[in-house]
């Protein structure tokens, strides 16, 4: 692993992953962050490493074939970690199209460029030989499996059964990645992780939204009865799992990632209120969203047994640390809620040299 392309590195998990790699992985010569800076991309997440000589930011769209091809030519990537996506289920219900183009076509654009660049005989359609040590990792989600009843867990063999336009687009992308492995022999992995929490999460998602609203004594909107169960994992544990798959994962395999931390949304909201010393009367039940999956739970036996990965955070420590992080970064949250964060790119990068 020398030259890494990270897509969507200005988002929540991608920015945590870039920090993780620059801190933990010695074998990084160059890490390029390709991000379109949609509303969800925030370069302030990476402020502390922007002068690291191993790191470079490129503003661009993963669906832009010429740009992606040019980046492969210029930087000779051997590793791709693909995070970039439209990621918010609520938005996918209102505006499905951008989820399909970004999440499916964007994935195919990256796969095509990687295939062209890595294949030993790019012109030979029967050849399945690739350069040594190259790997494409697709960051997927447990939501592709659909919903569970009161019992059971998702394994890597659970049939895909997505219920929202978001999860349908992610499942479709997974199928495209699988097909490139089966048809062209591409060296790929897919990881399917449960719900993440931690620093730098955009405040439209459950945990940062509830912390923000509670701090401002605003209503805490809870969908339906609040008994939707998610399997929560600290984002740093997700990053270490992706790193483990990159270094030890068997080519062509799918790995589920989860922390065995099933919690109902309402339980999390109550926990946040208790930690902040705010009253439960702030909880406001709102009409449930259509197609809202009731329960997700990940069976992480494959990655723990075969690759030796395990999460380091307990939920109690992780959520406490996360609440403290948001309390210590109210300026970061305020700049997002006011829209100011989008000026950061203009101030920092507008005068940057264009891509050769
Ligand atoms: N957040 C979770 O709990 C979770 C759990 C499992 C898997 N995932 C997956 O992990 C990945 C990252 O999730 P996240 O929560 O960090 O998302 P996010 O919404 O915080 O970040 C997505 C990033 O992708 C960028 N982006 C969007 N469209 C782009 C395009 N066309 N070209 C280039 N960049 C583009 C955005 O600017 C943003 O920086 C996604 O693929 C998501 O499906 C997320």
**Ligand 1 in reach of 196 Cβ (< 6 A):** yes
CA–CA distance, 235 with 241 (Å, rounded to integer):
10
Low-confidence ranges of the chain (pLDDT < 50): 353-354, 356
Domain annotation covers residue 140 = yes
Q: Which of 154, 77, 161 is nearest to 115 (CA)?
A: 77
Domain annotation covers residue 152 = yes
- 143 catalytic residue (yes or no): yes
Helix axes 206-215, 330-338, angle to 10 degrees: 100
Domain annotation covers residue 8 = yes
**C-alpha triplet 142, 322, 140: angle, nearest 5°:** 20
Q: What is the CATH number of the domain that holds 40?
A: 3.40.50.720
Domain annotation covers residue 281 = no
Scan for tokens 């036996």, then name that residue: 301
Domain annotation covers residue 115 = yes
- 166 catalytic residue (yes or no): yes
Domain annotation covers residue 343 = no
**Ligand 1 in reach of 177 Cβ (< 6 A):** no
CA–CA distance, 95 with 166 (Å, rounded to integer):
10
How far from the centroid of its chain's Cα atoms is residue 11's Cα?
8
CB 298 within 8 A of CB 256: yes
CA of 38 to the centre of ligand 1 (A): 10
**Ligand 1 in reach of 259 Cβ (< 6 A):** no
Domain annotation covers residue 347 = no
CB 28 within 8 A of CB 70: no
Please say whether the dihedral angle defined by the alpha carbons of residues 271, 275, 281 and 287, taken in this order, is positive or negative: negative
Show the domain range for 308: 3-200+234-261+293-314
Burial class (CB in 10 A: 0-12, 13-18, 19+), 155: middle
Q: Which of 189, 148, 142, 149 is nearest to 167 (CA)?
A: 142
Domain annotation covers residue 146 = yes
> Count of domains in the chain?
1
**Ligand 1 in reach of 83 Cβ (< 6 A):** yes
Mutate to test the pocket of ligand 1, among 9, 13, 81 (most ligand atoms within 8 A of CB): 13
| Residue of 136, 166, 180, 345 marked active site | 166
């Amino acid at each position: 692993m020398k030259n890494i392309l990270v897509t969507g590195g200005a988002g929540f998990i991608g920015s945590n992953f870039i920090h993780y790699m620059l801190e933990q992985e010695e074998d990084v010569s160059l890490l390029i962050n390709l991000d379109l800076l949609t509303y969800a991309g925030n370069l302030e997440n990476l402020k502390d490493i922007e002068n690291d000589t191993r790191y470079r930011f490129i503003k661009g769209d993963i669906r832009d074939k010429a740009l992606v091809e040019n980046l492969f030519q210029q930087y000779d990537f051997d590793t791709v970690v693909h995070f970039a996506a439209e990621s918010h289920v609520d938005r996918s219900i209102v505006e499905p199209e951008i989820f399909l183009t970004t999440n499916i076509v964007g994935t195919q654009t990256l796969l095509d460029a990687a295939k062209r660049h890595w294949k030993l005989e790019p012109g030979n359609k029967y050849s399945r030989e690739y350069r040594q040590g190259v790997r494409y990792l697709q960051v997927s989600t447990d939501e592709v499996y659909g919903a569970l009843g009161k019992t059971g867990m998702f394994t890597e063999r659970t049939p895909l059964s997505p219920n929202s336009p978001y999860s349908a687009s992610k499942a479709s992308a997974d199928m495209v990645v699988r097909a490139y492995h089966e048809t062209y022999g591409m060296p790929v992995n897919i990881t399917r992780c449960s719900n993440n929490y931690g620093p730098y999460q955009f405040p439209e998602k459950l945990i940062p939204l509830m912390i923000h609203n509670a701090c401002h004594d605003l209503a805490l909107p809870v969908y339906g009865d609040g008994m939707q169960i998610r399997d929560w994992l600290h984002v740093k544990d997700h990053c270490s799992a992706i790193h483990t798959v990159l270094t030890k994962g068997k080519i062509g395999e799918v790995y589920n990632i989860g922390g065995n931390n099933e919690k109902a949304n309402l339980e999390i909201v109550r926990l946040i209120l208790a930690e902040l010393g705010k009253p439960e009367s702030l909880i406001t039940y709102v009409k449930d969203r259509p197609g809202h999956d009731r329960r997700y739970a990940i069976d992480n036996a494959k990655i723990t047994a075969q690759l030796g990965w395990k999460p380091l955070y307990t939920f109690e420590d992780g959520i406490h640390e996360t609440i403290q992080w948001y309390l210590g970064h109210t300026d970061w949250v305020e700049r997002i809620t006011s829209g100011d964060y989008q000026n950061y790119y203009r101030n920092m990068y507008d005068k940057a040299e264009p891509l050769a």
